[in-house]
Structure 1
Amino acid sequence: MHQYKKYRFGIGRSRESASRVVPTKAVKVCASGLLALSGTCAYAQSSVTLYGIVDGGLTYTNNSGGHSVVQASSGGRGSSRWGFRGVEDLGGGTSAVFQLENGFNMMTGTSLQNSREFGRMAMVGLKNRYGQLTMGRQDDVMITYLGSYAASVMFGGALAARAGDLDNGFADYKLNNLVKFTSESFHGLTFGGIYGFGGVAGSMGQGQVWGLGARYASGPFSVGAAYHHINNPAVTYFDGSAAAVSNTAFTNPVSNPIFKGYTSATSMDLYGLGASYNWGRSTLAATVTRTQFNAVKKTTTTPVGDIDPVVSSAEVAYKLMLLPSLSLASAFAYTKAEGAKYEQLSVGVQNFLSKSTSVYLISAWQHASGTNSMGQKAVANLNLLTASTTPNQVALKIGLTHTF
């Protein structure tokens, strides 16, 4: 999706030389004991890559809590971030890998993801010819195997995410304490799984997560599928401060009324299927997802209890490269919740000024009908914006993004 320039620093160099762009160097490692006495040494190939995106612009919203507003906003086409990724050749086809990634608000300079230093990614692991096994704070299987089919990733950013990004097509939600396996490609097939440790004393399953995913690509066609199960989603998925307890006060971590009333669920299950086809300068993609909340608890901020509501979404997206540096794209998404329906149209134009810098224009419209998760008349609420006070909401963003 994005081309990153790679700034590699030799391991063991001085601070002065490490600040320059240098080629990867071999690191000399001498064994201890008899091997050291005999002068035997191993040479490990290591590199560290610095990368990032700086993205900002202006967003107009026709109805934000009852009023129109123009705001300076960070992260429209791609969330602003910076990070390091590294690899060390351990020999025998095995490598050690790590990645640390920070998300930040470009307009204020503050860290996102609840002010975490490396809230977007913090992982370490091993990789060989069969795949990669990592542990830490990471992406789930939905974004890993279905993200490339989503309009939000293809062109539209946060504004184009389906139904508040409940199905994580734009990777708004990260998972802690995760062990993740991702296979290499075997004749076009990749697959993997995740397991997240809850870490709650006396209740191993309270914050438990597990999931599976796969994708197959052959020529211009690809298809992917994913499923994951999440216990205590208020904390585990939505990053809340405490689990919900029936008939008590509950600090709801979600503001979007499309599913705010369901976040006190005991668990949730997400299913997804996506596919794409490329021909010439065109790409057509489609995604279908289903999210089921299990045993929702009635609390002060989730007014309906003892239900198992379902939120399903379907999306079709099309992207055309009009010129090597200019793209035009559009998508339509339909979401059906328990008592409400949401229709969403997104359009985007992106013009690359260079390999690293582009300007873009993204617009989105959402229409709501029925009764939302809070038992109120449904209103529109595009992802990451303040909800409208009417069934309709329109937003327009113009921005500049630079990758490094």
Structure 2
Amino acid sequence: MSAFSPTVSAQSNVVLYGIADLGIHYSNGLNASNAPTASNSTTALSSGINNTSRWGIKGQETLGNDMSALFQLEGGLNIDTGGSAKSDKLFDRIAFVGLKTSAGVLTAGRQATILSDAISPVDPLGMRFASFNPNINVTALSNTAFGTHAFGMQYGTSGYNDNYYRLDNMLKFTSDFGPVTTRVSYSFGEVAGNTSALSTVGAGLSYQQDGLAISGAYMKLKNSASFSLDAYTLGAAYNFGEFTLKANYGNNKAETAINKETKESIYSGGGNLVIRPGLSLTAAYYRVRRDSTGFTSDGFDRVVAYLEQEMSKRSTLYVELDSTKWNGNATGTTGTQANKSNGYGFTLGLMHKF
């Protein structure tokens, strides 16, 4: 305990940071929320097309003996309206406190899952366009509801149905061994009399060295009835100098009721090319397929591309293009009218980091 006594000389720093990303987005066969629609076209001013608009505060204090205390608070923003991304949570993205030692970093609070940590270095889009990126939505379980059916219930402690990308009450431990990073996590369901309900457990492993990255993770999430959602991801990336190639595979299976389940598989591949200093092109292909008891198999194929021009160290002008082909009855219906089998979009936007 003497290591934490007032006589220890501590140094601390606190940083305010964020991203403001806004673009004019035109779409056909998709509405302003990127859901399938039967209408001809939609033009909207949309936030977070490149990177999710956000603001946050983070800090770290040295405690001596190679130990530091740290914290981070981060909330999503809708720049087009000035509102918070989640009306019920000020810091919907991150809210944790932690301890850093020579053995690793232990954090506690609301955090992104180990699945998202594993996908980050190998997602072909570099985790862009969170509301539209299948690796974020389906592989990392940020928005599993599309088409004619969905999981329709909460797994883990996210607080939302069909969205389990971030979890409350989570303990996460991260440790580095040279180029290898290990991660383990557990979140408390906090359901009285049932320690299994809404709990989650996960583990991840990644390797990054000499331009090569290999990353994977597995998680088991429970709902309030202790039905399981099992998910895993595995991907790789390699840098060839001016060109980086990335690929990833994700899979999940959810028990939605007794003798009923939903299975999803996600294939992705793409890369980033530096055309010249400050100008880059990123393109990615995603293939999503879903099988569910009592429903016709469905899914979609999606291509997304970005051309980005850095205007300064903090500001980037970008053009985004996307095309989606729906498989099976994934589009569902709008009223009594069937939705289009194809959708596409175009964005001209500006992203500023502070």
Q: TM-score range by the shorter chain?
A: 0.7 to 0.9
Partner of 1:352: 310
Equivalent AA in structure 1 for residue 300 of structure 2: Y
1:308 CA displacement = 1.9
Among 322, 328, 338, the alignment partner of 2:275 is 322
Structure 2: gaps of 5 or more residues: 32-36, 144-162, 292-296
1:357–1:320 Cα change, 3 Å: same
1:169 CA displacement = 7.9
Partner of 1:212: 203
Equivalent AA in structure 2 for residue 45 of structure 1: Q
| Native 8 Å contact 2:310 2:317 kept in 1 | yes
| Native 8 Å contact 1:161 1:170 kept in 2 | no
Deviations 1:348-371 (A, max 9, x none): 11100000001111111111222x
Task: Work out the CA distance in 2 between the residues paired with 1:159 and 1:62.
Answer: 17
1:30–1:94 Cα change, 3 Å: closer
1:401 CA displacement = 0.5
Task: Work out the CA distance in 1 between the residues paired with 2:320 and 2:269.
Answer: 17
1:276–1:163 Cα change, 3 Å: closer
Partner of 1:231: 222
Task: Work out the CA distance in 2 between the residues paired with 1:170 and 1:352.
Answer: 29
Among 105, 115, 123, the alignment partner of 2:96 is 123
Among 44, 60, 77, the alignment partner of 1:71 is 44
1:170–1:209 Cα change, 3 Å: closer
Among 157, 162, 166, the alignment partner of 2:129 is 157
Question: In the alignment, is residue 392 of structure 1 matched against residue 350 of structure 2?
Answer: no
Task: Work out the CA distance in 1 between the residues paired with 2:208 and 2:113.
Answer: 20
1:388 CA displacement = 8.3
1:170 CA displacement = 7.5
Deviations 1:116-175 (A, max 9, x none): 111110000100122100100001011112222113425x42365117712228797211
Aligned to 1:206, what secondary structure does the other structure show? coil
Question: In the alignment, is residue 101 of structure 1 matched against residue 92 of structure 2?
Answer: no
1:393 CA displacement = 1.1
Structure 1: gaps of 5 or more residues: 1-28, 32-40, 233-242, 246-264, 298-304, 371-376, 382-386
1:159–1:198 Cα change, 3 Å: closer
Aligned to 1:347, what secondary structure does the other structure show? strand
1:334–1:30 Cα change, 3 Å: closer
| Native 8 Å contact 2:254 2:263 kept in 1 | yes
Among 246, 257, 261, the alignment partner of 1:285 is 246
Partner of 1:363: 321
1:183–1:388 Cα change, 3 Å: farther
Aligned to 2:130, what secondary structure does the other structure show? helix
1:315 CA displacement = 0.3
**Would you tell me which structure has more strand in proportion to its own residues?**
2
1:169–1:51 Cα change, 3 Å: farther
1:350–1:160 Cα change, 3 Å: farther
Partner of 1:61: 27
Structure whose CA Rg is larger: 1
Partner of 2:147: none
Q: Hey, which bits of structure 1, 4+ residues long, moved more than 3 A?
A: 169-172
| Native 8 Å contact 2:205 2:217 kept in 1 | yes
Among 269, 272, 278, the alignment partner of 2:230 is 269
1:149–1:160 Cα change, 3 Å: farther
Task: Work out the CA distance in 1 between the residues paired with 2:131 and 2:282.
Answer: 13
How many residues get paired?
316
Partner of 1:378: 330
Partner of 1:133: 106
Aligned to 1:144, what secondary structure does the other structure show? helix
Task: Work out the CA distance in 2 between the residues paired with 1:42 and 1:230.
Answer: 41
Question: In the alignment, is residue 221 of structure 1 matched against residue 187 of structure 2?
Answer: no
Question: In the alignment, is residue 181 of structure 1 matched against residue 139 of structure 2?
Answer: no
1:292–1:42 Cα change, 3 Å: same
